[in-house]
Structure 1
Amino acid sequence: MSKKYVLTAQARDLQGKGASRRLRKENLVPAVIYGAGQDAKSITLRHNEMVRNLQEEAFYSQIITVDFGDHQEQTILRDLQRHPSKPIVMHADLQRISEDQEIRIHVSLHFINEDVSKGVKEQGASISHVVSEVEVSCLPKNLPEYIEVDMISIEKGQILHLSDLKLPEGVSLPTLALGEDHNSAIASCH
Structure 2
Amino acid sequence: MSYELIAAKRVEQGTGASRRLRRAGKLPAVVYGAGKDAEAIVLEHNPLYYALKDEAFHASVLDLVVDGDKQQVLVRDYQMHPFKQLVLHIDFQRIDANEKINVNVPLHFLNADLSPAVKLQSGKVSHVVTSVEVSALPGQLPKFIEVDLSEAQAGQSVHLSDLKLPEGVELVALARGENATVANISGKASAEGAAE
Q: 1:82 aligns with which of 80, 83, 101?
A: 80
**What fraction of aligned residue pairs are identical, expressed as a percent?**
48
Once structures 1 and 2 are overlaid, which stretch shifts more, 61-70 or 167-176?
Answer: 61-70
Equivalent residue number for residue 161 of structure 2: 163
Residue of structure 2 in register with 1:25 after alignment: 23
| Equivalent pairs, count | 186
Q: Does 1:122 align with 2:120?
A: yes
Matches within 5 A, 1:167-186: 167-179=165-177, 182-186=178-182
**Which amino acid in the other structure matches residue 180 of structure 2?**
S
- Residue aligning to 1:48: 46
Partner residue of 2:105?
Answer: 107
- Greater CA drift, 67-76 or 160-169: 67-76
If the length of structure 1 is used for normalisation, what is the TM-score? 0.96
- How many angstroms does 1:36 deviate by? 0.5
C-alpha separation in 1, matches of 2:129 and 2:138: 23
Query: Which has the higher Rg, Structure 1 or Structure 2?
Result: 2
Find the partner of 1:8 among 6, 29, 42. Answer: 6
Measure how far apart 1:158 and its partner are.
0.2
Q: Alpha carbon RMSD of aligned pairs, Å? A: 0.7
Aligned counterpart in structure 2 of residue 187 of structure 1, from 175, 183, 189: 183
Gaps of 5+ in 1: none
1:145 equivalent to 2:143? Answer: yes
> How many Å apart are 1:109 and its aligned residue?
0.1
- Cα pair 2:9 2:67 within 8 Å, conserved: no
Aligned to 2:193: none
Per-residue deviation, 1:69:
4.2
